[in-house]
Amino acid sequence: ELKVEQNPLFLSMQEGKNYTIYCNYSTTSDRLYWYRQDPGKSLESLFVLLSNGAVKQEGRLMASLDTKARLSTLHITAAVHDLSATYFCAVDSAGGATNKLIFGTGTLLAVQP
């Protein structure tokens, strides 16, 4: 059974600082997704990583995937308050056409001025 773990679960950081959120998963998969959720809102797709070594960047966020280590990272560069949200990673449960997403429990990011 695929399990997805994120850490930390809560991250308080100052504006201007860098930090990384980690997403580990327990079984083989080469497809991983990152989502952002603002309080009381829906989930917004941030990154789609579809192969080993994939790296995607958007603004101050960069996501990468290492399928051999079963690890994805979401790196935050020079954080700003607008990045405060909950971030979820989700992993495809199988490589074929019947795949489902298994979500991590989320990382609540609070960026302090």
Partner 1 sequence: DADVTQTPRNRITKTGKRIMLECSQTKGHDRMYWYRQDPGLGLRLIYYSFDVKDINKGEISDGYSVSRQAQAKFSLSLESAIPNQTALYFCATSDFGTEYSNEQFFGPGTRLTVL
Residues that bind partner 1 (CB under 8 A): 31, 33, 35, 41-45, 48, 50, 88, 90, 92, 97-101, 103-106
Radius of gyration of the chain (CA): 14
Q: How far is the CB of 113 from partner 1 (least distance, A)?
A: 26
Nearer to partner 1, 23 or 83 (CB): 23
Nearer to partner 1, 4 or 83 (CB): 4
Q: Which two tokens stand for residue 35?
A: 């989502």
Q: How far is the CB of 69 from partner 1 (least distance, A)?
A: 21
**1 near 29, Cβ under 8 Å?**
no
Q: How far is the CB of 104 from partner 1 (least distance, A)?
A: 6
Nearer to partner 1, 44 or 58 (CB): 44
Nearer to partner 1, 61 or 106 (CB): 106
What DSSP character marks residue 82?
G
Q: Work out whether the CA dihedral 28, 4, 98, 49 comes out positive or negative.
A: negative
CA angle 58, 62, 63 (to 5 degrees): 120
